[in-house]
Every structure is written in C-alpha cells, then in structure tokens.
Amino acid sequence: MRAMVVTNPRPAEQNPLEPLEVPIPEPGPGEVLVRVEVCGVCRTDLHVAEGDLPPRRGRVIPGHEIVGRVAGLGAGAERFREGERIGAAWLHRACGACRFCASGRENLCLEPLFTGWDVDGGYAEYALVPEAFAHALPDERPAAELAPLLCAGIIGYRAWRRCGVQPGGVLGLWGFGGSAHVTIQVAVHMGCRVHVFSRGDTHRELACELGAASVAGSFDPPPEKLDGAILFAPAGELVLPALEALDRGGVLAVAGIHLSEIPPLDYQRHLFQERELRSVTANTREDAADLLRLAAEIPIRTHTVSYPLEQANRALLDLKQDRIRGAAVLKP
C-alpha cells in the first residue's frame, strides 16, 4: 500500500514525509483493518514530522483523524462488520488497569499508545485500529467533514469543558485552526459570546462567519473580560495575554500537546484573583462519543481543504504557515 512515512524528522520546509510502498498490515486479536477514506491533518502530525515530539520508533506513518471502512477483522473482533464506516483518533489504546484508567481518566493512562506516533496512523491506504478504541461514524456525511472531528473536534471539546465556561458565558479563543473552528460552533450553540484572537486574515474571516462576537490580533485586549479561554496556538508567549484577559476566577486551557516556552508570569497581572492555567492531555473515548453526538445535534460543519496523499508534505507546510482555512485532509 502507499504511505507517507517519517523516518528522519526535520522541518516541514524540508519534506519530512517520504512516499513508500509498505505491506498492508494484518489485524491482530481485537483489531480492525480500516481502508482509509480520508485522514485529517493535525498540528500534532506536524510536531511528529518535525521532531517536536521525540520519535518513538525508527519509522512511523503519522495521522490520527482516520475515517474509513472496515476491510478486515482480527480474531475476536465482533463490534463492527466489514464495510461499516468507523474512525480512529489520537488515543490508540490505554492499558485499562492503571489508577487513571480505573478512575475514568484513560487520557492520563500510564502506558498509552498513540495513533501516528507509537503506532502507524492514517497517512496511508490502510490502518489498524483496536475495535474497542474505534468510533462508529455516520454514512450520510462526507468523510472529509468527519475527519477533523476525531482530534481537532474532540480536543477542542475537552478544552471547552476544561476551561469551565458555562452556557451564556464569555469565551476567548487564541489561534483559529482546525480545533477552534469546531469549538466556536459548540460555544455559540451554548449561547456564549466568543472573542477570537488570531494573526491570520483567512482565520479571522472564518471566525466571523462562524459567529465570533469579535476578532482581533493575538496580543490585543478583549472588549470584555473572559469567563474562560482556550489556547490552541503552540505559542507559549500567548499564555500571558490570555491569562490577563480572564475575569476573576477564569480558566485558561492550553489545548496543544506541544507548547513553546512560556515567559515569566507576573502573579498580580496573570494569576491573582483565582485565575487558573490548565493543560489538556489527549482524549477519552467518552469525550469522543459526547462530541460526535453534539456534532450531529448542532450540526457542526467543518471547513476542509483536501490534498492527495502524495501531497502530505505540502499540507503540513501549509498548516505550519497558516494557509489553511479550517482543517486539511488527505485522500489516498
């Protein structure tokens, strides 16, 4: 099968993905073979390709927003039938036995495996998914519209919950890519006023279309104090203006798996009056189920730009340089 593979992480400008022909994987016990219809392009894939996330193996196929059809079943796999549409997300597998899994916090598992980092992902024609960690997906929606929900959407939703903004509250979003353009639809659906802070004109236009109450530059002050905020951009320097924009008791959730260094905080300006800074770590299967239900209810409409699989390097570079309106997807 065709695949785009990371063997030597390097800057996106240097084409870190190599096109290779590799064997179609065989599903093991409890696994499902998925014929990939489309795979979303996530900023985490960029971190894997560039080495911000240290390599876990000598060669890996990235991609963890996988939408496809069941093409084969391993021994004991009975949850899905061949031909059904399913999805795979970032959390490939959790141990199910550690203290975090036992308390319903499998995203904090002590021995997790992640799709497209620890195991091969969806920048290929086929991928393997443990059936217990696969997500049933509807047939009636285009595959490209579903892919961004499987990480950008799920993580945005978890960040929304972590920042604690109640229905009718005031939310700030720093960075407006794949996650934010889903999260704003959740927040607006909940009756919130959403203020967006982004450096890109294309992102600002989309934010306005999706109901932002205001759109400004990354370091501009908001027109009102925020009940909560989410930082999607992997830029540690934005933590300070986001914290400063919070009202008393407000929470800033940092949604990225990687963040550049945070400058020194001033306690009075940035944290006093019980403002909080929280990280967001992976997702649980419950997060995914909740988000997918909500996506159908609202309904959430994702904005995507499609690339052939062989142009995955270009997609990563466009993502890095903020040229994508919404989210990018790859089509084998």
SS3 293: helix
pLDDT attached to residue 26: 98
pLDDT attached to residue 214: 97
Closest CA to 175 of 252, 267, 111: 252
Q: What is the Rg, in whole angstroms, of the alpha carbon atoms belonging to the chain?
A: 19
Question: Do the beta carbons of residue 87 and residue 36 sit within 8 Å?
Answer: no
Q: Which residue has the tokens 């959790």?
A: 94
Closest CA to 226 of 208, 241, 209: 241
pLDDT attached to residue 201: 80
pLDDT attached to residue 200: 78
Q: Are strands 2-6 and 246-254 parallel, antiparallel or unpaired?
A: unpaired
Q: List C-alpha distances in Å: 13 to 97, 195, 310, 322.
A: 42, 32, 15, 14
Q: Which CATH superfamily is domain 2-151+283-331 in?
A: Medium-chain alcohol dehydrogenases, catalytic domain (3.90.180.10)
Q: Which residue has the tokens 């620890």?
A: 118
Cα torsion 99, 165, 232, 266: sign: negative
SS3 194: strand
Domain chopping of the chain, boundaries: 2-151+283-331, 153-279
Phi, psi angles (nearest 5°) of residue 93: -165, 145
- Going residue by residue through the chain, which has 332 residues, state the pLDDT in tens, using 9 for 90 and above: 999 999 999 999 999 999 999 999 999 999 999 999 999 999 999 999 999 999 999 999 999 999 999 999 999 999 999 999 999 999 999 999 999 999 999 999 999 999 999 999 999 999 999 999 999 999 999 999 999 999 999 999 999 999 999 999 999 999 999 999 999 999 999 999 999 999 878 888 999 999 999 999 999 999 999 999 999 999 999 999 999 999 999 999 999 899 999 999 999 999 999 999 999 999 999 999 999 999 999 999 999 999 999 999 999 999 999 999 999 999 99
pLDDT attached to residue 199: 85
Task: Give the other-Cβ count within 10 Å of 169's Cβ.
Answer: 19
Phi, psi angles (nearest 5°) of residue 167: -50, 135
- What CATH class is the domain 153-279? alpha beta
